[in-house]
Chain A
């Protein structure tokens, strides 16, 4: 962590803060923020932040999310497919040691890089999918973990520019990357500068991650006082801590489904929709009426269900206690609707819309869409706005344009 100020007053504030930062508190409590730079994390606190070692040296940070599972940066586990390299790698839990020489707490049985690492396009929005995971040889049961930020409502509250972010890691603590000043666990507060679908930008001269912090957690504190794990340190400028070049963190919400699938660990990830998005218009059911598709969508997972709820809300239709609309009534209302606004609703799956006649204009700004395929089956569609979504295949927008639809915001954009 880049550190600057050493004033006495700040030190006092830090002591107060550190005393409050053991296991993640669930109750609201006063939060005393250190003002700048990184501060030492005493032994036994924030143990969800761990270190990855090779040959007894800390090379990366990591984040324990389950007794058997550490998530980290993909580049931190590069090469660990080789049994010999895996043998000399380990995970360390503790405050660390100046210079980075530590005895690993537990060995590693398997390490995996995200399959899209460095393959995602456009990188401006998706980042590098710099996420990897490590399966531990023995479970670490006694350590408190921080839940992943995957819930839609929590994400909309917390994953926004300007939000305070708590960074933890074992990396360098000054811009000169002095090897004598790394290897101890430090924490720093900074602010989110910009949010993309799979990567966020944060950090600056006052506080930033640095070499050795990769894989370390970035946490947000919700209004209720509990913490959520938002992302993992990935990359940034050299030297680090530069106000003009924020660092980059992988957003874990984007890769949470992969982490579960690749590790076999249930992360209890709330309403995250892990069903793969429909990629082509052929995948949506043909020839069914809206009420039939609507009823089917209720059982397709949280993504389609969220879209149905959004449609009902947009048209002022009530939903049941379970959050489901009356599909017959909703169909009748939609049949008489030409213009629809579904903005900033965290929508991921538009399949319930497919086949709707009469809809001419629809704004979908600020959602989390990847597939526009269901829109190809709106026979009367003339205009659609998909600004600030995650449409990762430009051909999808082009297919709509080929049908005469005006597509606004087809290019990936960061928020803001």
Chain B
């Protein structure tokens, strides 16, 4: 039983070391930028903030044009501040471009994500 436990621990350790090595390599991120575009269905002006930076101001029913953003997965926070309302989405997509829509009919004031494509 003890031998089994030791063997299991060794195996787990080896497996874990292998996973760690692989994970370290996989942690590399490709160094191209991704893009997004925010489209508004509101009759108001909106500020578009990406990861805490003001990137565009769009007029009623306008769009932001193409905005470049980092390719780090899960790090792209897109916020639209439209007078009294704030719409938010954290984009975790790995595809190269996403459209996001400010749609007052969407519950919870999330930005509507999609389509995303390469």
| Residues on A facing B (Cβ under 8 Å) | 54-60, 73, 75-76, 78-79, 82, 85, 88, 100, 123-124, 130, 171-172, 177-180, 182, 209-215, 233-238, 240, 245, 247-248
* Given A82-B117, A179-B50: A214 and B67 interface contact (C-beta under 8 Å): no
B88 to chain A, nearest CB (A): 18
* Most chain A beta-carbon contacts within 10 A, residue among B34, B37, B66: B66
B69-118 interface (Cβ within 8 A of A): 69-72, 95-97, 117-118
B35 to chain A, nearest CB (A): 5
Residues of A within 8 A of B32 (CB): 59-60, 73, 75-76, 211-212, 214-215
Residues of B within 8 A of A58 (CB): 33, 68
Residue B43 interfacial (CB < 8 Å): no
Contact check, A79 vs B66: say whether CB atoms are below 8 A apart: no
The prevalent SS among residues of A at the interface is loop
A-B pair count, CB < 8 Å, reads 106
B47 to chain A, nearest CB (A): 15
B57 to chain A, nearest CB (A): 14
Q: CB within 8 A of B55: which of A75, A179, A238?
A: A179
* Given A54-B66, A100-B68, A177-B70: A212 and B28 interface contact (C-beta under 8 Å): no
* Residue on A nearest B53 in the bound complex, by CB: A179
A347 to chain B, nearest CB (A): 29
Q: Cα distance A171–B72 when bound, in Å?
A: 14
* Residue on A nearest B95 in the bound complex, by CB: A79
Residues of B within 8 A of A248 (CB): 28
Contact check, B30 vs A57: say whether CB atoms are below 8 A apart: no
Q: Cα distance A215–B30 when bound, in Å?
A: 10
A128 to chain B, nearest CB (A): 8
User: Could you give, for residues 21-34 of chain B, a 1 whenever the CB lies within 8 Å of some chain A CB and a 0 otherwise?
Assistant: 00011011111111
Contact check, B70 vs A211: say whether CB atoms are below 8 A apart: yes
Q: CB within 8 A of A73: which of B30, B35, B117?
A: B30
Residue B13 interfacial (CB < 8 Å): no
* Given A59-B35, A78-B118, A79-B117: A238 and B65 interface contact (C-beta under 8 Å): no
